Structure 1
């Protein structure tokens, strides 16, 4: 195991239970029926457990997008041409993709990382952390070496460390890479023990015949590579992708730095599950944004023991669900910070009504 990864895992601690209890004490005394803000209350209390503070405000937020190609593309598992990875990654820098528009809407930045695209970029808005020019074809051999998988995880940790130094205190996770619903389905199938027949979906819009082939490819990849489900790095190296490994590092890095981090969809969920299996405390820092339309998404949430905030039938990827979750998280913190408690409300007698007495 790499030194950075090992040190990170040692430094990840669980949520601050005392801060969570104090947050709930305030939430239960706000001028509203107890529990009436539902999930917003859960979010506010969870953020308190992350920061150790009752009152929290987001200062800077960004969606980290890991871009990488996947050798399994050779097996006909996508309707997109492989150069789509390059095209869309370039489009991120122009601010014209789905995640870019939604991020702008909520005043969020995006952070684009080339961790394994088949072509080189020369753009100041794309961070070059390339480990290899696309992974190997998992239907024939391991995606990468164990050392490369560790290196990819450590890229994610390093990216988050630097973002925290720049003042970012809320992160989202996105990706771009043709074929990555195949690799994420393979990773999840191994870690969960659920058959590819159940968790493999149509991704970018396959026909039924193509879907059958995709399921076959995932099953073949698992059989050929025999990944050890109890060894997360082995699973990532054998049937994963550089983007998934990089995002796994982002979840670990956020937990180490004690800042909240948001899951987008199926691919970043696979990365979150890997991070959670490496250190269970990571779960205390993760917020799922929406339920992806991929069939394995609901099973993924069950494995993580988390519930997505939204179900909008989205399947774009890129991190597009994260800006929507950002606005909900900030709304939860706004309510916590600005609503009065019943005790505080007594200072304004004219508008004070104790609704806890209403039946």
Structure 2
């Protein structure tokens, strides 16, 4: 697993400078297109081109179950994970609709669903039938951690083989907000109350119970090393590990990443603590309604594109941001410069 530590090169500064210069020449007041200008400049640098483009989008959804669900931290039973995977495949989920609308390639990867999905047309990389209950023991073994990370790397190989220009990852797993919250609390040295949110729709008493369970787990594992991989092994879900591996591999291969909500941002936090050079390759799509997301974004010094009070997950928020990136590219590539307008007027 030496690939985890491979270096991440920065986006191409030469193309960044060219993109900035072009933005200054377009027929508009300086900075009048706001964040759209910055998006175009960032994408030009990431793709090392004067004409950035995100027409080919790859979306990977990682699914897994969590032993912590046994502690009653979710509003839904664990069986919902497998049912939602089937819904993804049959086109009935939000991300299925959005991927179709935006002509994105959608794949579903089973990295740890607690049940057999062998009859489904998905990627089968099941590490185990869900993680262990991190309230009583580490969520996964070291070998399981590496297998889940590798599943994330593998999806980048498939995305690049399809000549994808933008990578989006999503997740599905009942109780995975508990896992993500515990990881973030450990890495950021926060208590569970600061970061625990409603997840699948818990009421106030449900959130309080969830926070107590997470804090108990944090106290039990308080002596583990304060490293991202240790936090991931002790508290993480297989899908969160896969997300982390995918983000690292995408940045290593210079593939731009559009990050979804709370859980994906926690995976981005883990990846950034493994290699801080990943940050320029991450575009954050939206600010989730999940309580702790703003704190995670602040820790990452990230400015999300949208704030729609969403908390669905499954890459839905990131998919909604695809048109913004495409518009940013179109404006950058197709608007006239003042010099071009002057030439036309002289004809």
- TM-score interval, normalised by the smaller of the two chains: over 0.9
Q: How does 1:312-327 map to 2 (within 5 A)?
A: 312-327=308-323
Q: CA deviation at 1:298?
A: 0.5
1:4 Cα deviation after fit: 3.3
Per the TM alignment, residue 21 of structure 1 is displaced from its structure 2 partner at its CA by 1.4
What is the rounded CA distance, in whole Å, between the counterparts of 2:54 and 2:244 in structure 1?
23
1:305-344 equivalences under 5 Å are: 305-344=301-340
Q: Which residue, 205, 215, 226 being the options, matches 2:201?
A: 205
1:39 and 1:350 mapped to 2: Cα distance? Answer: 33
Query: Number of matched residues?
Result: 347
Q: State the match for 2:141 in structure 1.
A: 145
List runs of 5+ in structure 1 lacking aligned partners: 352-359
Cα distance in 1 for partners of 2:314, 2:223 equals 27
Aligned mates of 1:125, 1:334 — CA distance in 2: 35
Shift of 1:277: 1.0
Map 1:175-186; keep pairs closer than 5 Å.
175-186=171-182
| Deviates further, 94-103 or 122-131 | 122-131
Aligned partners of 1:160 and 1:125: how far apart in 2? 19
Superposition deviation, residue 122 in structure 1: 2.2
Are 1:15 and 1:281, in contact at CA under 8 Å, matched by a contact in 2? Answer: no
1:130 to 122, 126, 142: 126
Q: Distance in 2 between matches of 1:227 and 1:42?
A: 42
**Which portions of structure 1, spanning 4 or more consecutive aligned residues, are displaced by more than 6 angstroms?**
none
The equivalent of 1:25 in structure 2 is 21
Question: Contact between 2:187 and 2:227, CA under 8 Å: does it hold in 1?
Answer: no
* Conserved? CA contact 1:190–1:227, under 8 Å: no
| Structure 1 residues 343 and 141, CA gap change in structure 2 (3 angstroms) | same
Secondary structure at the aligned position of 1:202 is classed as coil
Q: Out of 38-47 and 141-150, give the one that drifted further.
A: 141-150
Structure 1 residue 247: Cα displacement: 0.3
1:114-263 to 2 correspondences below 5 Å: 114-123=110-119, 125-226=121-222, 228=224, 230-263=226-259
Indicate which of 28, 35, 41 corresponds to 1:39. 35
Supply the distance in 2 between the matched residues of 1:19 and 1:191 (Cα, whole angstroms): 35
Task: Tell me if structure 1 keeps the 8 A contact 2:68–2:132.
Answer: yes
Normalising by structure 1, we get a TM-score of 0.93
Match of 1:96 among 88, 92, 98: 92
Please give the secondary structure, in 1, of the residue aligned with 2:185: helix
Tell me the CA shift for residue 53 of structure 1: 1.3
The aligned residue for residue 355 of structure 1 is: none
CA distance in 2 between counterparts of 1:195 and 1:174 reads: 26
Maintained 8 Å contact 2:167/2:257: yes
Q: Is the 8 A contact 1:64 1:111 kept in 2?
A: yes
**1:31, 1:340 within 8 Å by CA — same for their partners in 2?**
yes
Task: Check the 8 A contact 1:19/1:48 in 2, yes or no.
Answer: yes
Between the aligned partners of 1:63 and 1:240, the Cα distance in structure 2 is 21
Q: Which moved more, 1:327-336 or 1:17-26?
A: 17-26
Deviation at 1:59, TM superposition (A): 3.9
SS of the residue 1:302 aligns to: helix
Partners of 2:285 and 2:59 lie apart in 1 by: 12
| Secondary structure in structure 1 of the residue aligned to 2:170 | strand
Structure 1 residue 11 displacement after superposition = 3.5
SS in 1 for 2:6: helix
Output one character per residue of 1:181-234: Cα deviation in whole Å (capped at 9) or x when no partner: 000011111111122111000111112111111001111111112364641110
TM-score by length of 2: 0.97
